[in-house]
Structure 1
Amino acid sequence: MKTRWLLPLALLLITGCASGRGAWVELSGKRYSVEIAADDASRERGLMFREEMAADHGMLFLHDREEPLAYWMKNTKIPLDILYFDTGRHLVAQRRDVPPCTLGDQCPPYPSDAPARYVLELNAGQAEQLKLAKGTELKLGPGITPLK
């Protein structure tokens, strides 16, 4: 009787469906495991209060439409690269080495230079390491679908 739940649980863990893990993106040939922020609450929370993030991880923010965006570092404890991509998933703006901010609502915004639909946050220094340039394409792994 106790083992009836083991097979379904094992399948969930193998496919990455449990706890939303298994999503990835690829940028300039490098793959990053990402957490997805696709609703207002998860986009607002973002990477707040995290003490660290693995080198090959990030957070991908999905927006309903392409528009000018601005992110900030409120309650964010790790320096980040903030990368903005348009609907075609081409890099339109990047804010490198954005420092943590403990000023609450006084933290400065970091706007996109052009309308964007996707935002990828990576550990600071990744954009430099990858030599990212305007137009670089962001590849989405299976299961990551744009919001409609």
Structure 2
Amino acid sequence: MFGYVTADDTVHFPTASLVVTQREVHTTFSVEVATSAEQIARGLMFRESMDDRSGMLFVLAKPQKVSMWMKNTPLALDMIFADVDGNVKFIQRDTQPYSEELISYGDDIQYVLELNAGTASKLKISKEARISSLGLVPPR
């Protein structure tokens, strides 16, 4: 899942609106969407800031075990792992910037949502939450 990426690499990401639903509370984020191998390898590497209601959504081709890392990523992040239906299965809070330690989860993950560290706690996002986005994550 990892590729060799430098700060000079130019990778473009489409954007979409994404909704996190937690106990009937809906919070909307503007996310960049990573679907290609190049986009997934780059992710949020080299980013020094991100707006509060922004993030990145990794959309995998099929449900699978997912391993992420923070190499070349100066931002602390919350990583939200979700299944094919957008149901949150695991949340890794407050990741360590620049860490090469793998953050892995499950065998059935199709989406990983990265938000600024602290966002999941602030919004009380838990494993009861669900993510959805028109055309990306199917509505329930």
Shorter-chain TM-score range: 0.7 to 0.9
User: How many angstroms does 1:80 deviate by?
Assistant: 0.2
Does residue 43 of the first structure (1) align with residue 35 of the second (2)?
no
Structure 1 vs Structure 2: percent identity of aligned residues? 34
- Could you tell me whether the CA contact under 8 Å between 1:92 and 1:114 is conserved in 2? no
Residue 24 of structure 1 corresponds to: 17
The normalised TM-score by structure 1 is: 0.77
Does residue 122 of the first structure (1) align with residue 119 of the second (2)?
no
User: How many angstroms does 1:120 deviate by?
Assistant: 0.3
How many angstroms apart in 1 are the aligned matches of 2:125 and 2:106? 15
Q: Which letter maps to 2:84?
A: T
Give CA deviations for 1:69-95 in whole Å, capped at 9, x if unaligned: 111001001000011000011000110
Unaligned ranges ≥5, structure 2: 1-12
Does residue 60 of the first structure (1) align with residue 57 of the second (2)?
yes
Q: After TM superposition, what 4+ stretches of structure 1 lie above 2 angstroms from structure 2?
A: 142-146
Unaligned ranges ≥5, structure 1: 1-18
- Could you tell me whether the CA contact under 8 Å between 1:58 and 1:123 is conserved in 2? yes
User: How many angstroms does 1:114 deviate by?
Assistant: 4.9
Residue 96 of structure 1 corresponds to: 93
CA RMSD for the aligned pairs? 1.7
How many angstroms apart in 1 are the aligned matches of 2:76 and 2:128? 23
How many angstroms apart in 2 are the aligned matches of 1:49 and 1:117? 24
How many angstroms apart in 2 are the aligned matches of 1:69 and 1:77? 21
Highest Rg: 1 or 2?
1
Q: Out of 119, 132, 136, which is 1:144 matched to?
A: 136
Q: Aligned in 2, Cα 1:113/1:145: closer, same or farther, shift over 3 Å?
A: closer
Q: Which letter maps to 1:78?
A: L
How many angstroms apart in 1 are the aligned matches of 2:126 and 2:53? 20
- The 3-state SS of whatever aligns with 1:112 is strand
- Alignment size in residue pairs: 122
Residue 79 of structure 2 corresponds to: 82
How many angstroms apart in 1 are the aligned matches of 2:91 and 2:135? 25
Residue 4 of structure 1 corresponds to: none
Give CA deviations for 1:33-55 in whole Å, capped at 9, x if unaligned: 00000010000000000110011
